[in-house]
A = this chain, B = another copy of it.
Amino acid sequence: MAIIEKHKFQPNALARSLVNKKTGMIGVLFPDSSNMFFPEVFGGAERAAQKLGYTLFLCNTFSDYNRESEYLNLLCERQVDGLILMGGRINSRHCPPSLVQEVVDIQRKIPIVLINGTLPGHPCHRVKTDEYLGTKLIVQHLIDRGHRQIGFLGGSEVTTTTVEKLQAYRRTLEANQLSYRNEWVRMGSFSMSCGRQLMEAFLTMSNRPTAILCINDYVAIGAMKTAISRGLRIPEDIAIAGFDDTQLSSAMNPELTSVSQQSEQLGMQAMLILSKLIQKEKVTKLTVLAPNLIIRQSTQ
């Protein structure tokens, strides 16, 4: 011990990992650190990881398939013990089979958990919140508040989660004998500026919705800002709801009704399941978390 101290001996984890064949590292792919939803998820994952003795390797893919592939390769070379995947290809409808195959090949050697996504045609360990139910809850809430004209704003039709929400929206309307109208559904992206633009378009309509469900909090806030700048009161003149319940929704004024995906739980669960997979324990393939409707000022 004295001699360790004296020579300031520094253990080398690389050499140790080379022998042990485990690194204690978990690779985490996510699409965008500027969307608070993701930092929240890996906040939860990190907490769980610390308890389990793992350490996270976060990789911002910027939703770019190439970067995803690069990182995937990098993480394999670095011998991570497991992978958590979010966004990008696992949320893509029409995902090129080669990209799916890439993940499938890796999965043969390294345990993988997907958050809010799938690998079409291949069974996979997944953690997700029930976004269908979440959407249903919020549409029903709007209907219960007396709204009959409900719009849907943002997202992209090439994204599986958007399609799932859209379906829930449509079916919930129908279940309430309300008509689904194409012109009340506007897609684009997931950003605040998208929310602004799409809302502009809505406001020029003669017969516009009285309530709007947005694909996420960012789009909702963009929509709110446009509405407010046009002199509309929220929720009196138009009700607006978001999704994800990021910290933005409670920060806003008026505060934004949103559906919590339990982002931290999502990360924790994924990490928990991954650690079991690494220990070769049997784990349920699919873990579904219940969404949580958080009603705030923007809809009542």
Q: Measuring CB to CB, which residues of chain A are less than 8 angstroms from any residue of chain B?
A: 8, 10-15, 17-18, 23, 33-34, 36, 39-40, 42-43, 46, 50, 55-60, 67, 74, 76-79, 105, 109, 192, 221, 224-225, 228, 247-248, 250-254
**A and B contact pairs by CB, cutoff 8 A, 7 listed:** A13-B74, A14-B78, A34-B40, A36-B39, A192-B251, A248-B251, A251-B252
In the bound complex, how far is the Cα of B224 from the Cα of A10, in angstroms? 50
Which chain B residues border A43 with CB–CB below 8 Å?
33-34, 60
In the bound complex, how far is the Cα of B252 from the Cα of A192, in angstroms? 12
Extra contacts besides A14-B23, A14-B79, A253-B254 (5): CB < 8 Å = A8-B105, A12-B77, A34-B43, A55-B59, A251-B252
- Please determine whether B33 and A77 come into contact, CB atoms closer than 8 angstroms: no
- Distance from A71 Cβ to chain B, minimum over Cβ atoms (Å): 8
- Please determine whether A33 and B23 come into contact, CB atoms closer than 8 angstroms: no
Which chain B residues border A78 with CB–CB below 8 Å?
13-14
In the bound complex, how far is the Cα of B217 from the Cα of A36, in angstroms? 15
- Distance from A47 Cβ to chain B, minimum over Cβ atoms (Å): 9
With contact pairs A33-B43, A109-B10, A253-B253 given, residues A74 and B55 touching in the complex (Cβ less than 8 Å): yes
Q: Which of B18, B59, B109, B250 contacts A14 (CB 8 A)?
A: B18
Which residue of chain B lies nearest to A11 when distances are taken between CB atoms in the complex?
B77
- Distance from A283 Cβ to chain B, minimum over Cβ atoms (Å): 25
In the bound complex, how far is the Cα of B67 from the Cα of A250, in angstroms? 29
- Distance from A253 Cβ to chain B, minimum over Cβ atoms (Å): 5
Which chain B residues border A76 with CB–CB below 8 Å?
10
In the bound complex, how far is the Cα of B34 from the Cα of A253, in angstroms? 20
In the bound complex, how far is the Cα of B248 from the Cα of A140, in angstroms? 29
In the bound complex, how far is the Cα of B109 from the Cα of A43, in angstroms? 30
With contact pairs A10-B109, A36-B36, A78-B13 given, residues A56 and B55 touching in the complex (Cβ less than 8 Å): no
- Please determine whether B40 and A247 come into contact, CB atoms closer than 8 angstroms: no
Which chain B residues border A225 with CB–CB below 8 Å?
251, 253
In the bound complex, how far is the Cα of B254 from the Cα of A250, in angstroms? 15
Which chain B residues border A42 with CB–CB below 8 Å?
33
Which residue of chain B lies nearest to A18 when distances are taken between CB atoms in the complex?
B14
In the bound complex, how far is the Cα of B13 from the Cα of A13, in angstroms? 13
- Distance from A65 Cβ to chain B, minimum over Cβ atoms (Å): 15
In the bound complex, how far is the Cα of B227 from the Cα of A289, in angstroms? 36
The residue in A12, A228, A251 that gathers the most chain B C-beta atoms within 10 A of its C-beta is A251
In the bound complex, how far is the Cα of B109 from the Cα of A18, in angstroms? 23
Which chain B residues border A192 with CB–CB below 8 Å?
247, 250-251
